[in-house]
Amino acid sequence: MNSPSCTLDGIRAARARIGPHIHRTPVLSSRTLDDLASARLFFKCENFQRAGVFKARGAYNAVFGLTEAEAGLGVATHSSGNHGAALALAARTRGIPACIVVPKNALRGKIENIRRYGGRIEFCEPTLADREATLARVQGQTGARPVHPFNDPFVIAGQGTAALELMEDHPTLDAIFAPVGGGGLLSGTAVAAKGLKPGIRVFGAEPAGADDAARSLREGKLIAQTNPQTIADGLRTSLGSLTFPLIRRYAEDIITVSDSATIEAMRLVWSVLKIVIEPSSAVAVAAVLQAAPSLKGQCVGVILSGGNAELEHLPWAAGGTAGSAQPEDFMKAAKDHLPAHGIDR
């Protein structure tokens, strides 16, 4: 398995490799949301991707980047859900086994997705140490090839193909936003966007209760995530040794948002665009609305990273503050967040 460099050429090679297996997802826009942000917004809908999430891109690139000998023993990873489901799907497509180490507190819907795509699940305690120890045991027993959820050059290159498509469809973009947890999507997005258009500004979007990326960028060193508290379950991980340097080099800033703003953005997208996105996706929408004063009149791309929400427990319908509000209430609430933070330094 020859490791690709995290460059625009590496991302283009990833696109050629995964092209037959993934969807080229649509880009949606809305005059209502444009008016709300005072900018032209273009939403790259990875909620329509295979497995319902952008992670299919990195998973397919990693699985189909294996030699026949490497693939023979299968693949393994640890995941709270989305990466595991995507890896299971990619492995099934290639006809090899996949074992996914899953924390016991993972969302039920995401566990069901892993099983639906043929992944074998090994449950573990919800700590990074136990996830890694369980994965090491699985590898020792099976010889499976590990595919890290984000700190893997094949995964990063695969994730960058979403931004590559978005910028080909809309080359006039002035800025692009992507959510950040472990940083695979944001680092791939930043490399692709800056490679195609050096003057574009790239922003990460992160929950305020899990803000290790913002703190790492601010301090200029990798700061580990500790005790993350956020509804965005896909963004609770720390940056990796590969993703942080790319984000530090290419990203303009990391915008942090509250969970209440994330819920409002999730409901707003559902109300206006008529699509369901998961909280991790909504973090990017909330960040754009929060940063709107600095984006006035610009063309802005937003990566909606996935749509694997728990439909039985949508946050605005589960007794939260958003439970009985109407769409116009969410638009007003979103406007109330706009002056909170700018993004000009």
Interval 315-330 mean pLDDT:
50
Edge-to-edge strands, sheet with 299-304: 27-28, 40-45, 299-304, 175-179, 201-207, 253-257
Section 305-309 average pLDDT? 91
Q: Considering the chain, what percentage of its residues have pLDDT values greater than 90?
A: 79
**Which pLDDT band, with edges at 50, 70 and 90, does 106 fall under?**
confident
Q: How confident is the model at residue 324 (pLDDT cuts 50, 70, 90)?
A: very low
Average pLDDT (88-109) is 93
* pLDDT tier for residue 309 given thresholds of 50, 70 and 90: confident
If you average pLDDT over residues 100-120, what whole number do you get? 90
pLDDT interval class at 334 (50, 70, 90): very low
The rounded distance, in Å, linking the Cα atoms of 52 and 92 is 16
Query: Looking at the predicted structure, is the pLDDT value of residue 41 above 70?
Result: yes
Q: Can you list the domains of the chain with their CATH numbers?
A: 8-53+153-337 (3.40.50.1100), 55-146 (3.40.50.1100)
pLDDT tens string 132-164: 999 999 999 999 999 999 999 999 999 999 999
CA-CA distance, 79 to 101, in Å (whole number)?
6
Please, which pLDDT band fits residue 328 given cuts at 50, 70 and 90?
very low
| pLDDT score of 28 | 98
pLDDT at residue 33 in the model: 97
State residue 4's pLDDT score: 55
- Of 221, 164, 236, nearest in space to 196 by CA: 164
Work out the average pLDDT over 317-329.
Answer: 46
Determine the average pLDDT of the residues in 103-130: 89
Mean pLDDT in residue range 305-321 = 73
Average pLDDT over residues 270-287: 96
| Of the listed ranges 177-181, 267-271, 277-281, 321-325, the one predicted with least confidence | 321-325
Predicted confidence (pLDDT) per residue in 158-189, tens digit: 999 999 999 999 999 999 999 999 999 999 99
What percent of the chain clears pLDDT 70, i.e. is strictly above it? 90
Which residue is listed with tokens 């990460």?
A: 204
Structure tokens at 15: 């696109």
The mean pLDDT of 20-25, rounded to a whole number, is 97
Q: What is the pLDDT of residues 207-238, one digit of tens each?
A: 999 999 999 999 999 998 888 899 998 898 89
Model pLDDT, residue 133: 94
User: What is the token pair recorded at 306?
Assistant: 């996935």
From the number of C-beta atoms within 10 Å of its C-beta (0-12, 13-18, 19+), residue 113 rates as buried
What is the pLDDT, as a whole number, of residue 52?
Answer: 93
β pairing state of 120-124 and 98-103: parallel
Say if residue 34's pLDDT is above 70: yes
